[in-house]
Amino acid sequence: MKGLILCAGKGTRLYPLTRSYPKTLIPVANIPILQTCIEKLTEQNITDIGIVISPSQERIMKDHIGTGEQWGLKLTYIYQHEPKGIADAVKQAEGYINKDSFLLLLGDNLITDSLAKLMLPVTSQISYASLMLTKVDNPHGYGIAEISDHRIVHLEEKPLLPRSNLAVLGAYAFHPLIFKAIAAITPSKRGEYEITDAIQWLINQGHPVPYHITEKQNSDIGTLERWLEANRWMLEEMSPTHRIHETCQLDNCDIIPPVAIAQGCRLKDCVIGPYVSIGADTNIEGCHIENSILLNQTQLKNIPYLIKDTVVGFQSVVAGLQSRGTVTDQ
Ligand SMILES: Cc1cn([C@H]2C[C@H](O)[C@@H](COP(=O)(O)OP(=O)(O)OP(=O)(O)O)O2)c(=O)[nH]c1=O
């Protein structure tokens, strides 16, 4: 079985950050999402992985993720020239996948459940596709599955009138017959080739599509709110205590776990946490921060108010005029 991870979207909901930086490389609990996806596939002993990127991401992806040698993997980069939808991105990988079955991950999804149950119906040749579902509160924003008699009977992307609250997560197992299904579909109303339409094609041809409903944590990192939410649960999953890299220097700081502080950071007179991730080589002095993500090489100094529910971009420099504690409400 091969693995395929899609990274070629526009990431418009995270602009301006993702205008020049791939969404799938942004960190959650200081680990790039794409790295977590790769590790998820290796848990299932998948060592041959295709990564679909846009040509403009080539250099930065190769710099950060490389050839996979460091993980003992074979990584193959595949290009999607225009983000015409998930099914179109999969189509670009047809030559790479060839006659193999594959696990497909959307590169902005974090899923904690094991992928073993997802793979089984396809590897044991019971079905041509299998899905992972989860219950959601706002079904309008997702691909939604309607179940009848323990079977998926209908799939719809971002429905106006959702037929259930079961959302399709960004993890799928496929037999290469999916390429025939993709060839048969046309763009949706929003102009994209939808993977849900390709799977619906399989269902319409009489091929059952099994599913597994996960109760475990998962997030797609499409918006700032979901990114912060994923950061919270990833920090909780990583360790019950805080994680501070041994090279960090902390002087007169209160650390309220869970937090993650990457290598080379210097913190002085700070209160940090809970739910804070601080990227490498960051300097912070005189700040109180909770539920936030600071990307690499940030510098914050004497911010006279609580920094909360915030993402601070790479190499940002923010300095207050006075030291903390001197500002009053007047
Ligand atoms: C639409 C699309 C997405 N993808 C990938 C990118 C993401 O990792 C994943 C989910 O994509 P989306 O979040 O649906 O799209 P996006 O990344 O373009 O973001 P936005 O909606 O904010 O503009 O699939 C492709 O590789 N090609 C595509 O054509």
- What pLDDT, on a 0 to 100 scale, did the predictor assign at position 329? 37
Range 218-249 burial, b when 16+ CB lie within 10 A, else e:
bbbbbeeebbbbbbbbbbeeeeeebbbeeebe
Lowest-pLDDT choice from 10-19, 35-44, 278-287: 10-19
pLDDT at residue number 322: 59
Q: Is the pLDDT assigned to residue 327 strictly greater than 70?
A: no
The minimum-distance atom of ligand 1 relative to the CA of 8 is: 26
Q: What is the mean pLDDT of residues 167-177?
A: 97
CB of 107 within 6 A of ligand 1: the answer is yes
The CB density around residue 48, as the number of other CB atoms within 10 Å, is: 18
Confidence bin at 144 (pLDDT 50/70/90): very high
Fold exhibited by the domain 2-222: Spore Coat Polysaccharide Biosynthesis Protein SpsA; Chain A (3.90.550)
3-state secondary structure of 33: helix
In this model, does residue 44 exceed pLDDT 80?
yes
Residue 330's pLDDT is: 33
Given this model, what pLDDT does residue 242 score?
62
Long-range contacts of 237-245 (CB under 8 A, 24+ apart): 237/112, 238/29, 242/273, 243/30
Domain 239-329, architecture per CATH: 3 Solenoid (2.160)
Section 251-264 average pLDDT: 96
Ligand 1 centroid from CA 83, angstroms = 7
Residues 272 and 251 sit within 8 Å (Cβ to Cβ): no
Q: Where in the chain is the domain with CATH 2.160.10?
A: 239-329
Q: Evaluate whether 118 touches 171 at the Cβ level (below 8 Å).
A: yes
CA of 8 to the centre of ligand 1 (A): 6
Write out the residue limits of the CATH 3.90.550.10 domain(s) in the chain: 2-222
pLDDT of residue 326: 39
- The whole-angstrom distance between residue 130's C-alpha and the CA centroid of its chain comes to 20
Count of CB atoms situated within 10 Å of the CB of 180: 14
pLDDT given at position 240: 64
Residue 254's H or E segment, with its range, is: strand 254-255
pLDDT tens digits, 59-111:
999 999 999 998 899 999 999 999 999 999 999 999 999 999 999 999 999 99
Count CA within 13 A, CB hemisphere, residue 211: 27
